[in-house]
Amino acid sequence: MRRPRLVSGVAMGVLVAILFLLPVLYVVMLAFETPAHFLNSPLTPGTPAVSNFSGAWNGADLGVELLNTVLYSVVASAASTLLGLLIAFPIARRLIRGHSALYTTLFIGLFLPFSVIPLFAEARMLHLYNNRPGYILLHVEPGLPLAVMLLVALISSIPAELDEAAWMEGAGYLSYLVRVVVPLTRPALIIAFLYGLLGVWNDIIGPVVLLSDPSLFPVTRGIYNFFGSNESEWTLLAAGIVIASLPVVALFAASQRQIIRASLAGALKG
């Protein structure tokens, strides 16, 4: 019993490492190669060189694009988390008529496909095309349904006596939300924010359709275009990938515990 289990465990470790770790390590290795060494022996690491990183940083304009990406994803995701709270609280506390129908409407939103053609048409009509505020506004909605679902579930577990007591003493709605509800729903707020952030950060179709000015491009489109214009400069491209994904890997490393626990809990609850 003991030994086959150990063997299969090791086999699985090797499989996961080859399938999920090796591709990532290969790109990192490539990023530190000189083009000359790469052409001679493409599969082995050489003496690490950092010239690719400066080349990619300048060539792909990664500084500006990373700033754009951070701006878009943080603001849009913060907005959808906040707006999610403004919808979730009245639903969870049944403060409005039709709270149940409203919940269902938001639930359907989880399954709506990203309708890029009408969004493009709307963006043109409402002057949201090719500008930063417009791009951010168009990216608020995708995170909203999940934020509402997570927050309704958590708010429902907070005793309603708490808000009744506060309101009898004359606490305002917004200050109550900020002082009492936000601290109590922090886990759901963080998960909704992180998922929303990843969605906006990793979007590639949005930047292709909704932006045309290169100075507005986020890093996904920047690195995609960089690939198109530097074909077969593989070490440079690898460095670009590493730079572009470093912030999101750092964020994931810092929050993986919450993200994975939340995903597992969601799967369990069903």
Partner 1 sequence: MTQALQAATPSRADGRPRQPRTRGWRGPRRGPQLLSRGSRVTMWAGLLIALAVYVLFGLVPMAGNVIISFTNYTALPSAPVNNVGFSNYTSMFTSQAPGFDQAIVATGVFVVAVTIGQNALALLLAHKLQRPGRAAAIGRVLVFLPIALGVTVVGLTWILIFNPQEGPAASLLSAFGVHSAFFGSASWAMPLVIFVQIWQNAGFSTLVFIGGLRSIDPQVYEAADIDGVGAWRRLRRITFPLLAPALTANTLFAVVGAFTTYNLIYVLTDGQYGTQTLGMLAFNEAFGSFQANLGYGAAVSVFLFAATLVVALPLMALLRYRERRLFS
Which one, 50 or 204, has the nearer CB to partner 1?
204
Site for partner 1 in 43-62 (CB under 8 A): 43
Q: How far is C-alpha 46 from the chain's CA centre?
A: 34
Fill in the per-residue mask, 159 to 198: x = in contact with partner 1 (CB under 8 A), - = not in contact.
-x--xx--xx-x-xxx--------------------x--x
Tokens of 163: 């808000």
Kindly state the smallest distance separating residue 183's Cβ from partner 1, in Å: 18
- Is residue 52 within 8 Å of residue 31, measured between CB atoms? yes
Interhelix angle 144-156/99-109, rounded to 10 degrees, is 140
Segment near partner 1 (CB under 8 A); pick from 45-53, 54-62, 179-187, 226-234? 226-234
What distance in Å separates the CA atoms of residue 75 and residue 269, rounded to the nearest whole number? 30
In this chain, which of 50, 110, 162, 182 binds partner 1, going by CB under 8 A?
A: 110
Residue with tokens 């109590």: 184
Residue placing its CB nearer to partner 1 in the complex, 47 or 169: 169
Phi-psi region of 161 (alpha: psi -120 to 50; beta: other; left: phi over 0): alpha
Burial label for 57, CB within 10 Å (0-12, 13-18, 19+), is middle
How many residues make contact with partner 1 (CB under 8 A)?
A: 110
Give the nearest distance from C-beta 30 to partner 1 in angstroms: 7
Options 49-57, 58-66, 179-187, 236-244: segment touching partner 1 (CB under 8 A)? 236-244
In the range 117-146, which residues lie near partner 1 by CB under 8 A? 117-122, 124, 137-138, 140-146
Residue 100 touching partner 1 (CB under 8 A): yes
Q: How many C-beta atoms surround the C-beta of residue 216 within 10 A?
A: 19
DSSP letter for 43, please.
T
Q: For residue 88, give Cα distances in angstroms to 78, 148, 150.
A: 15, 5, 9
Query: Minimum distance between the CB of residue 114 and partner 1, rounded to whole angstroms?
Result: 8
Nearer to partner 1, 19 or 183 (CB): 19
Segment interacting with partner 1 (CB under 8 A) among 45-53, 55-63, 179-187, 200-208: 200-208
**Least Å from the CB of residue 51 to partner 1:** 18
Report which secondary-structure segment, H or E, holds 118. helix 116-125
C-beta of 84 vs 189, nearer to partner 1 = 84
Name the region of 42 (left: φ>0; alpha: ψ -120 to 50; beta: rest): alpha
**Hey, CA dihedral for 70, 71, 72, 76, is it positive or negative?**
positive
Footprint on residues 75-94 left by partner 1 (CB under 8 A): 83-84, 86-87, 89-90, 92-94
DSSP category for residue 112: -
Q: Which of these ranges, 45-53, 55-63, 179-187, 237-245, lies near partner 1 under the rule CB under 8 A?
A: 237-245
- Closest approach, Cβ 118 to partner 1, in A, equals 3
Minimum CB distance to partner 1 smaller for 71 or for 82: 82
CA distance readout (Å), 95 to 85, 90, 99: 14, 5, 8
